[in-house]
Amino acid sequence: MILDDFMTRAALAGIGTALAAAPLGCFVVWRRMAYFGDATAHAAILGVALSLAMSLPVFAGALVVALVMATAVTLISGRGYAMDTLLGVMAHSALAFGLVGVSFLGGVRIDLMAYLFGDILSVSRADLAVIWGGAALVLGLIGWRWSALLTSTLNPDLARAAGIDPKREQLVLTLALAVVVAVAIKVVGVLLITALLIIPAATVRPFATTPERMGALAALVAMASAWAGLRASYALDTPTGPTIVCVAALLFGLSTVASGLQRAR
Amino acid sequence: MTDRPLVEVSNLSVRYGDSDVLQGVDLQVAPNEIVTLVGPNGSGKSTLIGAILGGVRPSEGRVTRRPDLRIGYVPQRLVLDPTLPMTVARFLSLPRRVPRDRVHDALERAGVPGIADRQMSVLSGGQFQRALLARALLSTPDLLILDEATAGLDQPGSAAFYERIEQVRADTGCAVLMVSHDLHVVMSASDRVICLNGHVCCEGTPEVVAAAPDYRRLFGAGTRGTLALYRHDHDHTHFHDDAHTHGPGCAHHHGTERGATE
């Protein structure tokens, strides 16, 4: 069976995560939510610690804590707090508490790197099912709400006038973000999830004329990065998650140069 | 039934923290009429629009929209994030997909034919506002809400814009509620003017409002020249709630009735 090969499983895991992360990443970029993504991702390590302590599936724990964090931030935002300060406080506190929490659990300390930077080569069939299930959920959610999400991204009042509740759309994004974070832990780890969201979207921006095209191109770039990063890490014997992000970053560099040349002409 | 107001605001108060932005505001917009809100900066105009759209929560009173009311909204400014690619045609199809020929038709009606394939980010201020108007018209609104839609336009530009609005009203029969600083144009284009300063200072036909002492105190000597265009034909009554407060520019005294033939 083809799924017996760990490289095949890793490739499928990477591509599945990339497919869900990239279109969502476009909204993260358009709405300037990068720090929000970081906070959610960092909080997930606390979820990992809790689920290890209670012998629950890591995915479930990460999902719940990411969801709680994302919802908390959404509710607090727009109430007169300085957003970046608040997110900085919450993101790093969650990360610190998570790391301290993990240290209480004897024996799992060796695994910490796997959660911080991902461990895509150890993806099991069950992990694959979770990753592709999560990816399908996120893509379905975003596809279903696409127009409403775009309208409320442009301007909340524009959305309200058209009968769309921007708060609800924000909640949709929050939910999608939590799912992507939980899914991506195994692939790139909590510290690099935001990179997977943002870099492909930023890479394709100069070549997109509509939001739809940007989402589709970002998904292509993200999937290519995941696949090429996996091959490169195999050939160079480097950690896979960071290698995937390196490939994405190189593509971003190429795109910046190419669009610069295009404009200079 | 046809006279049922599209929007009815009754006794609306909005408080942000300790400060009252709106107090006891009553407002109705009937089908097919053009109503203009004027008032100094900070008088709560945009807050009132926000409450009508549903984004601002009233601390007292209520906003009733006619069921199934279709609103076309043209915001004061729309800042597109530079990372968001958006052609004019795509923008006009938000949130509902619109056939290509209707997009062209709407752009033509808004006075900017042929810009469908341009990026929103490269449009001039006037083109951008007209693209916003075209989008608002595509939903065949019962009520068109314009929040200082001509803020960045020069005087001929905004005059042309308001002419376009009147034409749209004539063509489609929609009502228009607009906020404007542009007193000259407002006066000629509106059926009814409401002067706002945290509360409704005065309201009526453009001539009546232009002549009202409250209005003159709010807008001062700078507008006298324009106001002189209007006859002082005072035949409206004007009641005040004694509990209201005034902004610094609003120094009127409370009479029982104001504006009766002088």
Residue A157 is nearest to which of B50, B83, B91, comparing CB atoms? B50
Is the Cβ of B53 closer than 8 Å to some Cβ of chain A? yes
The pLDDT of residue A108: 55
- A34 CB neighbours in chain B (<8 A) are none
HSE-up of residue A155 (Cα within 13 Å, Cβ side):
17
B145 close contact with A: CB closer than 8 A: yes
Q: How far does B208 lie from chain A, in Å, by closest CA?
A: 31
Within 10 Å of residue B44's Cβ, how many Cβ atoms? 24
State how far the Cα of B53 lies from the Cα of B12, in Å rounded to an integer.
Answer: 14
Contact between A134 and A179 under an 8 Å Cβ cutoff? The reply is yes
- For the beta sheet containing B192-196, the strands, ordered from the edge strand earlier in sequence to the opposite edge, are B71-74, B143-147, B175-179, B34-38, B192-196, B200-204
Cβ distance of A155 and B78 shorter than 8 Å: yes
Whether B54 sits inside 8 A of A164 (CB atoms) is no
Residue of A26, A27, A160 to mutate when probing chain B, most B C-beta within 10 A = A160
Residues from chain A contacting residue B103 (CB–CB below 8 Å):
none
**3-state DSSP call for residue B239?**
coil
Element (H, E) at B216: helix B213-219
| DSSP string computed for B169-190 | HHHH--EEEEE-S-HHHHHHH-
Q: How far apart are CA A6 and CA A135, in angstroms?
A: 20
Name every chain B residue with its beta carbon within 8 A of the beta carbon of A22.
none
> Taking CB atoms and an 8 Å limit, are A155 and B145 in contact across chains?
no
Going by pLDDT thresholds of 50, 70 and 90, the confidence category of residue A137 is very high
pLDDT at B143: 94
Closest CA to B165 of B195, B139, B136, B192: B136
CA dist., res. A122 & res. A125, Å (int): 10
Q: Quick one: tokens of B95?
A: 């949130």
CB contact under 8 A, B83 and A150: no
**For tokens 């404007």, what's the residue?**
B180
**Which residue in the set A30, A158, A160 is minimally distant from B84, CB to CB?**
A30
Contacts for A60 with CB less than 8 Å, ≥ 6 apart: A51
| Chain A contact residues (CB < 8 Å to B) | 29-32, 147-148, 150-151, 153-162, 164, 166, 201-202, 205, 208-214
From first to last of its 262 residues, what are the pLDDT tens digits of chain B? 456 889 999 999 999 888 888 999 999 999 999 999 988 888 888 899 999 999 899 999 999 999 889 999 998 888 889 999 999 999 999 888 899 999 998 898 888 888 999 999 999 888 898 899 899 988 889 999 998 887 777 777 777 888 888 888 888 889 999 988 767 666 677 889 898 888 888 888 887 777 777 777 777 645 444 443 333 333 333 444 333 444 444 444 443 333 333 3
Q: How do B34-38 and B60-65 pair as beta strands?
A: unpaired
pLDDT at A33: 85
Q: Identify all chain A residues contacting B85, using CB atoms and an 8 Å cutoff.
A: 205, 208-211, 213-214
pLDDT at B185: 66
Residue B11 phi, psi (nearest 5): 50, 40
Other CB atoms within 10 A of residue B252 CB: 18
B44: left (phi over 0), alpha (psi -120 to 50) or beta: left
Residues in B closer than 8 angstroms to A148, CB to CB, are 95
Q: What pLDDT score does B239 carry?
A: 41
Strand B19-29: give its sheet, edge to edge.
B19-29, B7-16, B60-65
* A32·B81 Cβ contact <8 A: yes
The model's pLDDT over B130-141, given as tens digits with 9 standing for 90+, comes to 899 899 988 889
| DSSP label of B122 | G
Of residues A168, A165, A184, the one with CA closest to residue A48: A184
Cβ proximity of A74 and A170 under 8 Å: yes
pLDDT at B70: 92
Query: What is the CB-side half-sphere exposure of residue A51 using CA atoms within 13 A?
Result: 19
B90 reaches A (C-beta below 8 A): yes
Q: How far is B235 from chain A (nearest CA, A)?
A: 36
Cis ω for the linkage preceding B95 (within 30 of 0): yes
Enter the tokens of residue B148: 């200082």
| Predicted pLDDT at A20 | 93
The kind and range of the H/E element at A148 are: helix A125-154
Query: Domains plus CATH for chain B?
Result: 1-67+143-262 (3.40.50.300), 71-139 (no CATH)
Burial B116-145 (b: 16+ CB within 10 A, else e): bebbbeebeebbbbbbbbbbbbbbebbbbb
Angstrom distance (rounded) from CA B253 to CA B236: 17
pLDDT of residue B182: 67
- Measured in angstroms, the CA of A165 and the nearest CA of chain B are apart by 9
Query: What is the per-residue pLDDT across A80-93, written as a single tens digit (0 to 9) for each?
Result: 667 778 888 888 88
Q: How far is B89 from chain A (nearest CA, A)?
A: 10
Task: Read off the tokens for B248.
Answer: 């610094």
The pLDDT value given to residue B177 = 94
- The CA-atom distances, in angstroms, between A134 and each of A38, A47, B141 are 19, 17, 39
To the nearest 10 degrees (0 to 180), the angle between helices A58-76 and A34-53 is 140
Range of weakest confidence among A163-172, A232-241, B56-65, B200-209 = B200-209
Beta bridge partners of B146: B74, B178
Closest chain A residue to the Cα of B54, Cα to Cα: A160
Asked if B73 lies within 8 A of A29 by C-beta distance, the reply is no
Set out the domains of chain A in order of their start, with CATH numbers.
2-191 (1.10.3470.10)
Distance in Å, alpha carbon of B93 to nearest chain A alpha carbon: 9
Measured between CB atoms, which of B72, B85, B94 is closest to A205? B85
Q: What is the mean pLDDT of residues A113-122?
A: 87
Which single residue is written with the structure tokens 């929007």?
B7
